[in-house]
Structure 1
Amino acid sequence: MARFAIPSIIAMLVSALYNMVDQFFIGHSVGMQGNAATNVAFPLTITCTAVSLLFGIGGAANFNLSMGRKKPEEAKHFIGNAIFLMLSFGITLCLLVFLFLDPLLKLFGATSDILTYSRTYTSITAFGFPFVILATGGSNLVRADGSPNFSMACTLIGCLINLVLDPLFIFVFHMGMAGAAWATIIGQIISASMVIWYLTRFKTVKLTLKELRPRAFACRRILSLGMAPFLNQLAIMIVQVVMNNVLVFYGGQSVYGSEIPLACAGIISKVNMIFFSISIGLSQGMQPIASFNYGAENYGRVREAVIKTMTASTLICTVAFILFQLFPRQITGIFGSGSEEYFIFASRYFRIFLFFTFLNGIQPVAGNFFTAIGKPVYGIFISLTRQILFLLPLILILPQFFGIDGVLYSAPIADFMAAVLAFFLTFRQLNKLGK
């Protein structure tokens, strides 16, 4: 577990830091409007992550299941087809963003004051979409091949490059939002190049160009097992878009105005993503162990892996809960200055919206568990519960009665209900494995 989970956690943390690093330097150079602009662009980043996990986890889970069943010839088709799908969808997404840039940014909540900043940032980062999808999704394939440390290194080096280039481009060359964007995609290109280099030297099976040719059975099964994490990220993106628009609308009717809630939402979602990434990293580290042992019918090891992963994930989320409750103003201050109303709203947002953070580690582990054992329907259902079934309706309904406070109280209610449901379904399946 440590061998697979720790590199996966570091890789996910580094991936989350890509946007957080931009947020930090933009907040200290452009200011609150820059923070709001990156929040408007964030749904596209989530979309890239969703596509990465769809083909990365789908390909890795099928590869490990096939290897556990001693079918290496079948296994390598999942790797090749996953690579083909990542590249195809990455290029398609890049082209769509260029064709519909302004309508998309307005849909994501950009006001007239923020649109220029968002347009500058997104028009550059869109070039990196194929690379970030290949880097993020390909790291799952590298990990499935038994190289979790190299998988971690692919993401880590890209982030370090971004960390060095961000202040250089923004403060030395005075490139502003454009500098942050160029620093991001240069790091992504380096990470993707490392993944490509590794895939040409795959250890457990020998990959050739013919494995890249799409095959119906491989694509179908990749989509099946990757659908749960994909839909989870897609649901996050949908909720982010709706919440941005609700915050702008109801913020305009409050003492905070439209832009303060939008800027605070961007900071808080990315800070929370740091801790949530640890839970996702733990669940991804569990995936090859659970898949291989389930394929080999070693059910006791599957149960042990899931229980240990869920326990560790909950402990990490409890630490996040304590920090969010005790130090919300200090965390917000890391990302630049603002008015007193800005810090008041940010503190309330942290304490109320993220109140049940200590339960948020259950759902990603549960979703990945069902995906790992080849039960995608349960994984998809669990992935949709918090965002679509619970949170989205609450975000639309509660503000009609409580104004902008309704947005804040919607999250803890959704978190609690989703965690209880995921816990029940997981332990019911674990009891079946025990029998």
Structure 2
Amino acid sequence: MRHVVVMAGTGTVGLMAVFLVDFLNLFYISRLGDSRYTAAIGFANAIGFLQISICIGMSIGATVIAARLVGAHQYERAKRIVTSFIVVMTAIMIVLGLCIAAYNREILYLLGARDVVLQQASHFVVIVSPLLFLIGLGMVLSGLLRAMGDAKRSMNVTVIGALVAGSLDPLFILVFHLGLEGAAISTVCSRLAVALLGFYSLRRYELLQKPEWKYIWSDSLEVFKISFPAILTNLATPVGGLFVIHTMSRFSSDAIAGQTAIDRLIPVAFAFVFALTGSVGPIISQNFGAGLRERMQETMVVSLKLVCLCVFCAWFVFFIGEDLFIKMFALKADGAALMHLFCHWVIINNLFLGMLFVSNTAFNNLGYPLLSTLFNWGRATLGTIPFVYVGASYGPQGVLVGQAMGVVPFGIMAVICTFVVMKNIQMEKVA
């Protein structure tokens, strides 16, 4: 319990810092008092969430491989593989970021953005997307610090990003009146700070070296064997989110603003739950590499207990702070109604979302990455599309309820499957 709490606790602060950048952007944009701007950043963040999910998948692969090799005392091999992967990952992120920037208006139009909303969202994406590789580097380097057991420095790497964004957002948005362009500039500056501090912090472990070009593809493929399924798994959530915001675009800008506010609050409020996916992974992986199979199940049980505790504490805070959140984002009409419904009841569905995410982490680290991909995409398709489609006939609130209900069966089934897998591994050990 102590090991999980320490690793996840520091990871929570770090992950919360990453999500605070988007949160602060939305908060200061909402101060402008125009729901169209709030809706625009919602569309831009939907694309950004898709990109960051890829970065998270990349960091999972690097963290797992580094932790496994360090746990097996293969330090030199870990250095070579990590260095090779960072080079290839950076190249991929640059290409992806430029492609999305080039076709951003077409993508935003497909999502439902129109007129002023489309124009403002486009300004944000064009500035931020080409420099996507900065947050990719920051997340991978932070994950490598966690793999080395340095939870504090891993946390500091991402905290610096929130501090930079918190300082620059009001300056660019409210003082210089740059609107979403100001939010985009602030985001880029915060990501640059994260990447630079990540490189500086990792120097003490000498985990990076000069790339050995003859091994760069073979080494990278070894990481991608874990990263690629993790990326597919992580993409499910933002893809489902894209369908939700597309459906919500049928209603008013106020409804999109409400959905955007909820989407930005969830990662901050449940950063501890999301941090478990990055922190429990190395713990399970190191015990797996060291042959301590019985501790893996203990780690899973502890994680589920912590998920329950976190969700019910958040429910209490949101229930009593409902009016504060509505005023915080200047929500009106449909937006205020959505926040009211979320704070009272819908927030509970994050219990099942946390169960699903923790289970996916276990699958990735136990050699069953396809199971995590199956469950996450099942939730993003069968657990989202039909529920949201039916819910839309009841208005914006029906969309929110439909999105929440779809995750319940997949969260329960994922946990059951996880313990079955762990039991089979234990039986293989005995045999």
Whether TM exceeds 0.5 here: the answer is yes
Between 418-427 and 2-11, the greater mean CA deviation after superposition = 2-11
Matched, 1:408 2:411: no
Q: 1:356 aligns to what SS in structure 2?
A: helix
Change (3 A) 1:231 1:275: farther
Q: Is the contact between residue 55 and residue 226 of structure 1 (CA under 8 Å) also seen in structure 2?
A: yes
Residue by residue over 1:295-341, the C-alpha shift from the partner in whole angstroms, topping out at 9 and shown as x without a partner, is 111112222222212211221122223344454343122112x4344
Aligned counterpart in structure 2 of residue 47 of structure 1, from 50, 59, 62: 50
Between 295-304 and 65-74, the greater mean CA deviation after superposition = 65-74
Matched, 1:373 2:366: yes
Q: Is the contact between residue 231 and residue 380 of structure 1 (CA under 8 Å) also seen in structure 2?
A: yes
What are the residue-to-residue correspondences of 1:115-126 with 2, within 5 Å?
115-126=118-129
How far has the Cα of 1:377 moved from its partner? 1.8
Aligned counterpart in structure 1 of residue 97 of structure 2, from 86, 94, 98: 94
Between 106-115 and 293-302, the greater mean CA deviation after superposition = 106-115
| Matched AA of 2:423 | N
Aligned counterpart in structure 2 of residue 14 of structure 1, from 14, 17, 24: 17
Q: Is the contact between residue 48 and residue 133 of structure 1 (CA under 8 Å) also seen in structure 2?
A: no
Aligned counterpart in structure 2 of residue 382 of structure 1, from 375, 398, 402: 375
Residue by residue over 1:277-310, the C-alpha shift from the partner in whole angstroms, topping out at 9 and shown as x without a partner, is 3212123112212111111111122222222122
CA distance in 2, matches of 1:340, 1:404: 11
Q: 2:211 aligns to what SS in structure 1?
A: helix
CA distance in 1, matches of 2:178, 2:266: 28
CA distance in 2, matches of 1:48, 1:212: 27
* 2:312 alignment partner in structure 1: 318
Percent identical across equivalent pairs?
Answer: 21
What are the residue-to-residue correspondences of 1:124-163 with 2, within 5 Å?
124-163=127-166
* 2:413 alignment partner in structure 1: 421
Change (3 A) 1:311 1:433: farther
CA distance in 1, matches of 2:33, 2:395: 29
* 2:27 alignment partner in structure 1: 24
Matched, 1:346 2:339: yes
Q: 2:237 aligns to what SS in structure 1?
A: helix
Q: Is the contact between residue 56 and residue 82 of structure 1 (CA under 8 Å) also seen in structure 2?
A: no
What are the residue-to-residue correspondences of 1:181-330 with 2, within 5 Å?
181-203=184-206, 205=207, 207-211=208-212, 215-249=216-250, 251=251, 258-330=252-324
Residue by residue over 1:75-129, the C-alpha shift from the partner in whole angstroms, topping out at 9 and shown as x without a partner, is 2233113312331122112211231121122123212131121122222222431
Q: Is the contact between residue 104 and residue 122 of structure 2 (CA under 8 Å) also seen in structure 1?
A: yes
Which ranges of structure 2 fall in alignment gaps of 5 or more residues? none
Q: Is the contact between residue 317 and residue 357 of structure 1 (CA under 8 Å) also seen in structure 2?
A: yes
CA distance in 2, matches of 1:345, 1:72: 51
| Matched AA of 1:63 | A
How far has the Cα of 1:50 moved from its partner? 1.8
CA distance in 1, matches of 2:298, 2:15: 23
TM-score (norm 1): 0.90
Aligned counterpart in structure 2 of residue 395 of structure 1, from 350, 375, 388: 388
CA distance in 2, matches of 1:348, 1:195: 39
Matched, 1:56 2:59: yes
Q: 1:170 aligns to what SS in structure 2?
A: helix
Q: 1:389 aligns to what SS in structure 2?
A: coil
Residue by residue over 1:351-399, the C-alpha shift from the partner in whole angstroms, topping out at 9 and shown as x without a partner, is 4543422332211111111212232122222332322331133223443
CA distance in 2, matches of 1:195, 1:4: 18
Q: Is the contact between residue 9 and residue 272 of structure 2 (CA under 8 Å) also seen in structure 1?
A: no
| Matched AA of 2:400 | L
Residue by residue over 1:177-200, the C-alpha shift from the partner in whole angstroms, topping out at 9 and shown as x without a partner, is 222211111111011011122344
CA distance in 2, matches of 1:238, 1:39: 14
TM-score (norm 2): 0.91
How far has the Cα of 1:130 moved from its partner? 1.3
Q: Is the contact between residue 57 and residue 227 of structure 2 (CA under 8 Å) also seen in structure 1?
A: yes
| Matched AA of 2:293 | Y
Q: Is the contact between residue 60 and residue 288 of structure 1 (CA under 8 Å) also seen in structure 2?
A: yes
| Matched AA of 1:265 | Q
Matched, 1:332 2:326: yes
CA distance in 2, matches of 1:131, 1:201: 21
Change (3 A) 1:430 1:247: same
| Matched AA of 2:235 | L
| Matched AA of 1:148 | A
Q: 2:381 aligns to what SS in structure 1?
A: helix
How far has the Cα of 1:214 moved from its partner? 5.6
CA distance in 2, matches of 1:19, 1:391: 24
CA distance in 1, matches of 2:227, 2:308: 24
Q: Is the contact between residue 283 and residue 309 of structure 1 (CA under 8 Å) also seen in structure 2?
A: no
Residue by residue over 1:37-72, the C-alpha shift from the partner in whole angstroms, topping out at 9 and shown as x without a partner, is 111001222122222122211011122222333333
Between 69-78 and 309-318, the greater mean CA deviation after superposition = 69-78
CA distance in 2, matches of 1:26, 1:426: 42
CA distance in 2, matches of 1:433, 1:409: 38
CA distance in 1, matches of 2:254, 2:214: 49
Change (3 A) 1:128 1:213: farther
How far has the Cα of 1:238 moved from its partner? 1.4
